[in-house]
């Protein structure tokens, strides 16, 4: 099969399109013909070697966590899926989605939303699960709460805005000037242009601040967070880690870090929201698998609005 592999850590050019052996599935896995994947910042952070303590030094590696495709075979212990099912889900760490076939654990997959294309579907798993688990599980979001999403036009932020609205929150989205109308179209009640205003100097206060781009900290956000508010980030800097440990044992404001945990139950929940028209996927650009290096470079530029999809096979 064709896949994009890396044989060392480095810049985008270490991504090589070549022939590799098709994966063999374990009893609890699905063999999936991958129709589409997508790019997440964690993919190029692994590629750069930023997570080498976790990803290790064994090569070659196939990256890519998001998968949308068709089941072609199931392991002997699989009970929820059969060949021919259109599914979406996540690969195990450190990836495997940038390939024509992938082995997907049964408990990390769900049936594909019926109203999305494969490319749109592949944009959902990691980013939407991150937003859902941040707001619902870490933030304990409640109807009527004031929620601010920093990075509202980015891959995680677009789902943060929509999920917060679906769960009944009053949402403020922070983005650049050119994306303000787009963020409003996602359902934001209010927008802040970060080129004109620092949200940490806002006159409003929020129950939840979800920093979907990991640019701030609790200490920087304290003034606009309510006394018992929760600050959640996608980037565990040393400062945020210290604040999280400290605030866990003290009353008042909390600092939390979200580490997405893929699972079938939450993928099914997202599928229901998508099919009900409460969430949509937004794709900035679609690249063929052969041009994955260009897709990674574009993601690293931090200019993408929504997600970057990878089209793999028809």
Q: 9-27: per-residue pLDDT in tens?
A: 999 999 999 999 999 999 9
| Gap between the Cα atoms of 190 and 106, Å rounded | 40
In 3D space, the residue among 99, 114, 231, 210 whose CA is nearest the CA of residue 154 turns out to be: 210
Question: Do 214 and 233 meet the contact criterion of CB atoms below 8 Å apart?
Answer: yes
195-249 pLDDT, tens digit per residue, is 999 999 999 999 999 999 998 889 999 999 999 999 999 987 777 788 888 888 8
In 3D space, the residue among 31, 32, 65 whose CA is nearest the CA of residue 46 turns out to be: 65
Sign, CA dihedral 117-122-125-126, equals negative
Question: Do 274 and 113 meet the contact criterion of CB atoms below 8 Å apart?
Answer: yes
Ordered domains of the chain (ranges, CATH): 2-124+281-311 (3.90.180.10), 127-257 (3.40.50.720)
Up-side HSE of residue 3: CA atoms within 13 Å toward CB?
Answer: 24
Question: Do 123 and 35 meet the contact criterion of CB atoms below 8 Å apart?
Answer: no
- Walking along the chain (314 residues) 10 residues at a time, the average pLDDT comes out as 97 97 97 98 96 93 98 98 98 95 98 98 98 98 98 97 98 97 98 97 96 92 97 85 84 93 97 98 98 98 95 83
The whole-model pTM stands at 0.96
């Amino acid at each position: 099969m064709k896949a994009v592999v890396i044989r060392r850590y480095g810049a985008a050019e270490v991504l090589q399109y070549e022939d590799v052996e098709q994966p063999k599935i374990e009893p609890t896995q699905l063999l999936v013909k991958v129709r589409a994947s997508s790019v997440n910042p964690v993919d190029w952070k692994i590629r750069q070697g930023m997570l080498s303590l976790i990803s290790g030094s064994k090569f070659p590696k196939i990256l890519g966590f998001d998968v949308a495709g068709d089941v072609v075979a199931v392991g002997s212990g699989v009970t929820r899926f059969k060949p021919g099912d259109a599914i979406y889900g996540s690969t195990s760490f450190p990836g495997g989605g940038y390939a024509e076939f992938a082995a997907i654990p049964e408990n990390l997959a769900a049936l594909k939303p019926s109203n999305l294309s494969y490319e749109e579907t592949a944009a959902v798993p990691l980013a939407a699960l991150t937003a859902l688990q941040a707001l619902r599980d870490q933030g304990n979001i409640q109807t009527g709460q004031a929620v601010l999403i920093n990075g509202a036009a980015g891959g995680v932020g677009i789902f943060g805005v929509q999920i917060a609205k679906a769960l009944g929150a009053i949402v403020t989205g922070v983005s650049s000037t050119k994306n303000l109308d787009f963020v409003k179209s996602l359902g934001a009640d209010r927008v802040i242009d970060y080129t004109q205003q620092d949200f940490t100097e806002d006159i409003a206060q929020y129950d939840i601040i979800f920093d979907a781009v990991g640019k701030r900290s609790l200490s920087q956000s304290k003034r606009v967070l309510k006394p018992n508010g929760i600050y959640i980030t996608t980037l565990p800097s040393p400062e945020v880690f210290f604040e999280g440990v400290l605030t866990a044992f003290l009353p008042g404001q909390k600092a939390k870090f979200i580490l997405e945990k893929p699972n079938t139950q939450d993928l099914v929940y997202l599928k229901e929201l998508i099919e009900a028209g409460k969430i949509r996927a937004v794709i900035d650009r679609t690249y063929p698998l052969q041009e994955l290096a260009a897709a990674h470079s574009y993601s690293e530029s931090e200019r993408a609005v929504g997600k970057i999809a990878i089209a793999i096979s028809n």
